Amino acid sequence: MGERAEPQPVDPARKPVGPSTLAVHGGEVRPKPAHSLTTPIVQTATYTFANTQELKDHFDGKIERVEYGRYGNPTQRVAELKLAALEGAGECLLFASGMGAMTTALFAMLSRGTHVVVTDDSYRRTRQFLNQTLSRYGIEVSTVPAGDYDALEDAIRPTTRVLVSESPTNPYNRILDLERFAAIGRRHRVKTVIDATFATPYNVRPLEWGIDLVMHSATKYLGGHNDLLAGAVLGSAELVGAIRGLQGITGAVVDPFAAYLLVRGLKTFALRMERQNANAQAVAEFLAAHPRISRVHYAGLPSHPEHAIARKQMRGFGGVVSFEVAGDLDAATRVVDACTIPYIAASLGGVESLIEQPAIMSFYELTSEERLEIGIKDNLIRFAVGIEDADDLISDLAQALDRAFASG
């Protein structure tokens, strides 16, 4: 057998194309197998060889093809190349979940005796992995306050290998100055890793600001329909290639059907993001003017502490609006329960709006005082805005606030 056809992104030598064109066509060959318009699902774990020579040629690197399901899948490869095109990355690697992507990447970049610096607003499970799991393997971790770049630089040691952060953050939508963060990493010859799940490559492409590795929970905006679990790491071919080698050992691979769903979801990615950005901005502005709301956390508002940074490096400000009601935990609960359009659920990024109280959904086991120590207020609500009509979402919030405080 000859060398297999490898899907390629839209030709970068031609006039640059927009994110929606990349989302629809990036990473896909023409024609596809069996002349299908849709990327086929290659639902197999095992791949056959025509003869022993083909097997030898594969291991000698003379031909490029798939050997076994743990090392890749043609449907997965299309999704990876599409995401690489959207992110402007040299390479992408998919995983079974966002945490599978983050943990495998960190394991690949770290070893006993090394050190990591993480900002205190990074995803809770990432911080738990760093502080609770990696410490068992002789890897040290320092946590620094978000936005304190002097503290970040001061925390770097000769053994530091990675700086980890997130932008925007969950649930307060803090914005990292990516250019400054990357410059600190380069100055100290330390790799920089950013979780850009909330932003997506539609709103910001961290690699263009000098970041080494970008991570996404593809479960969220990239898939867009709350029907798959997947994660992705993107960066240079060399860096992602090293992570791919470890994935082949640890086995946190995405399955072909999830990869197919991701490809399908990405077709409308730019359209969904444009709508969710606009909806969230409208919802944030409504809430900011409402007398029953004490504070709104959304980077699209001039009141946000990093609004200027967000405007500099982002196309839009994302689909998550977090806000504090003028009251306590029970008041926030009444607001959530009075909403009729959003579902009460964890996660975000799908076409349906979701709403939840972080104090209950993610930190229920902690006391109010313990939650406050890590910055989670009892009156905080996180609203993951979907693609519904903005006027309907705002009307629903208005009636929910009226009902919640009329009965309170």
Question: Do 327 and 242 share a domain, yes or no?
Answer: no
From 236, 266, 296, give the residue that closes a domain: 266
User: 117 pLDDT band (50/70/90 cuts)?
Assistant: very high
Question: Do 178 and 325 share a domain, yes or no?
Answer: no
pLDDT in the model for residue 11 = 57
pLDDT in the model for residue 105 = 98
* 329 burial via Cβ count (<10 Å: 0-12, 13-18, 19+): middle
- More confident site: 364 or 200: 200
Question: Do 44 and 143 share a domain, yes or no?
Answer: yes
Q: Is residue 25, in this structure, part of any structural domain at all? A: yes
Q: Is residue 9, in this structure, part of any structural domain at all? A: no
Q: Is residue 308, in this structure, part of any structural domain at all? A: yes
**Residue 189 bears catalytic tag:** no
User: 10 pLDDT band (50/70/90 cuts)?
Assistant: low
CA distance 38 to 25: 11
Mean pLDDT of 379-403: 97
Question: Do 193 and 71 share a domain, yes or no?
Answer: yes
Total of domains in the chain:
2
CATH of the domain at 192: 3.40.640.10
Of the candidates 177, 195, 378, 396, the residue annotated as catalytic is 195
Residue at token pair 């490869």? 77
pTM, to two decimals:
0.93
Name the range with the highest mean pLDDT among 9-18, 25-34, 384-393: 384-393
Of the candidates 77, 121, 123, 272, the residue annotated as catalytic is 123
User: 373 pLDDT band (50/70/90 cuts)?
Assistant: confident
Q: Is residue 132, in this structure, part of any structural domain at all? A: yes
> What is the percent of the chain where pLDDT is above 90?
88
**Residue 220 bears catalytic tag:** yes
Question: Do 231 and 319 share a domain, yes or no?
Answer: no
Question: Do 323 and 221 share a domain, yes or no?
Answer: no
CA distance 332 to 330: 5
Question: Taking Cα atoms as reference points, which of 101, 22, 19 lies closest to residue 277?
Answer: 19
Of the candidates 82, 161, 191, 220, the residue annotated as catalytic is 220
Question: Do 84 and 195 share a domain, yes or no?
Answer: yes
pLDDT in the model for residue 375 = 76
pLDDT in the model for residue 220 = 98
pLDDT in the model for residue 2 = 35
Of the candidates 32, 47, 65, 70, the residue annotated as catalytic is 70
Q: Is residue 11, in this structure, part of any structural domain at all? A: no
pLDDT in the model for residue 13 = 53
Question: Do 311 and 262 share a domain, yes or no?
Answer: no
Measured in whole angstroms, the distance separating CA 47 from the mean position of its chain's CA atoms is 31
Question: Do 177 and 114 share a domain, yes or no?
Answer: yes
User: 24 pLDDT band (50/70/90 cuts)?
Assistant: very high
From 243, 266, 289, give the residue that closes a domain: 266
> What is the percent of the chain where pLDDT is above 70?
95
Question: Do 76 and 162 share a domain, yes or no?
Answer: yes
Question: Do 52 and 161 share a domain, yes or no?
Answer: yes
Question: Do 232 and 100 share a domain, yes or no?
Answer: yes
CA distance 369 to 1: 65
pLDDT digits over 307-353, tens only?
A: 999 999 999 999 999 999 999 999 999 999 999 999 999 999 999 99
**Residue 123 bears catalytic tag:** yes
pLDDT in the model for residue 15 = 74
CA distance 292 to 7: 52
Domain containing residue 148: 19-266
User: 235 pLDDT band (50/70/90 cuts)?
Assistant: very high
Lowest mean pLDDT among 10-19, 32-41, 58-67, 288-297: 10-19
pLDDT in the model for residue 347 = 94
From 242, 266, 290, give the residue that closes a domain: 266
Lowest mean pLDDT among 186-200, 217-231, 274-288, 365-379: 365-379
Number of Cβ within a 10 Å radius of residue 44? 13
Q: Is residue 2, in this structure, part of any structural domain at all? A: no
pLDDT digits over 128-183, tens only?
A: 999 999 999 999 999 999 999 999 999 999 999 999 999 999 999 999 999 999 99
Q: Is residue 13, in this structure, part of any structural domain at all? A: no
CATH of the domain at 390: 3.90.1150.10
Q: Is residue 182, in this structure, part of any structural domain at all? A: yes
- Asked if the model's pLDDT at residue 3 lies above 60, the reply is no
Q: How far is CA 128 from CA 104, 190, 205, 230, 326, in A?
A: 14, 22, 26, 20, 31
